Structure 1
Amino acid sequence: MPLVPFVVESHGSGVAQDITVQGEHAHRFTSDTYPAFGGEDSSPSPLAYTLGALTSCNQISAQLVAKDLGLRVGAFTFTAQGDLDPSVFVGGAQGDANFRSVSVQATVETDAEGETFDHFVAELERRCPVTQLFRRSGLSYSSTWTPRPLGD
C-alpha cells in the first residue's frame, strides 16, 4: 500500500491556534489551553485532543479488526485519562514533559467473547497508530476493555 500523508496547517498567536486538516474535505478546528498554562480555555487543549485521538483511533481500529475477524461490533463508550506533571511543561524543570500515565476504559457492544474478545482487543491496539504512539513513548499505559452484548 502507498503511504497516506496527513497534513495540517496552523496559525495563531499566544497559545491559541486555528488548524486546518488538508484533504478532499478540509476540516478546521481550534486549540487553546487552560489559564494555568497561559490560555483562555476557549477550545480544547492539544493534550485533550491527543486523548480524543486515542479513543477515536481505537474505535476506527476496532471496526477494521472486527471486519477482518468476522466479528460484529456496535456502540462504543470510552473514558481516557492522561496524568500530566506540569513541572517540566510549565515550570521548565528537568525531566520528561510527557504524560506520566494514560489509561483507557472502553466498552464495546460485540458478539465476541472470551479468548476471541481478548484477541480482538490485542489486535486493534496493535494496529492503532495512536495507541502505538502512546505505548512507545515510555509512559505508563493501561487499557481495560469490556464487552457488552450487541443491542440488536
Structure 2
Amino acid sequence: MAHVMPDLFKIDVAGHAVSHARSEMVARGKVIATDEPPERGGTDLYATPLETMLSSFLGCTNVIANFVAGSMKMDVRDMQFDVCGHFDTRGVFGKAEIGTPFPVIELRVVLDTDANDEQIAKLAKTVGEKCPVSVLLRRAGCEIQENWVRK
C-alpha cells in the first residue's frame, strides 16, 4: 500500500555543539553527528557537515530515482553512485565574494537495469527536477554535472 504524503509537513531536527568542531543532532529519535578532521580541530569521528550534505544528496537521489523509476515502470535492480563536490573555500575565509560554495558538483549514477539510454536520460532529468536536495543545490547556483550509465 502506498503511503500518502501531505502537501506540506515539518521536519524537525534538534542539536547541540559537543565541541567547536563536533555537533550532535537528533531527528525522529535518530542521532546524526558531524565532526572535522584533526587539522581543523576535530576528532575525525564522523563525516564533516559538508560530507554529510553531499551524502544527503546521494541518499535523496536514491529515494527519488527509485520512486520515479517505479512510476516509469523501469526495473532498477541495483544503483551505485558517487558524488564529488568542488568546494570554493574563498567565501568561508573571506578571500572573495562567491556565488556558491560548490560551483560544481559531479554526480555519477550506475544502474543495473534493462532500460535503454533514452529511458535513463528521462529518469536522470526527472530526478534532477524532483529530488529536493538536487533542487536546493541547483537553485543555490551549483552546476550539477551528471553521468547516469548502465552497469
TM-score bin (small chain): 0.7 to 0.9
User: For 2:59, what is the secondary structure of its paired residue?
Assistant: helix
Paired residue for 2:3? none
Match of 1:7 among 2, 6, 12: 12
Structure 1 runs of 4+ aligned residues shifted over 4 Å read none
Amino acid at match of 1:120: L
Offset at 1:145? Answer: 0.4
Do the aligned residues in 1 keep the contact of 2:77 with 2:112 (CA within 8 Å)?
Answer: yes
Cα deviation for residue 38 of structure 1 reads 3.4
Q: Deviations over 1:7-54 (max 9, x none)?
A: 1100013121111003xxx21121011334332322100100111111
Distance 1:111 1:66 in 2: 12
2:22 — aligned with what? 16
Q: Please, which runs of 5 or more residues in structure 1 have no aligned partner?
A: none
1:68 corresponds to 2:71:
yes
Aligned mate of 1:56, from 49, 55, 59: 59
Alignment CA distance shift 1:29-1:3 (3 Å): same
In the superposition, the TM-score normalised over structure 2's length comes to 0.87
- Could you say what the CA RMSD is over the residues aligned between the two structures, in angstroms? 1.6
In 2: Cα distance, 1:116 partner to 1:82 partner? 26
The one-letter code of the counterpart of 1:3 is: L
Q: TM-score, normalised by structure 1?
A: 0.86
Q: Is residue 101 of structure 1 aligned with residue 104 of structure 2?
A: yes
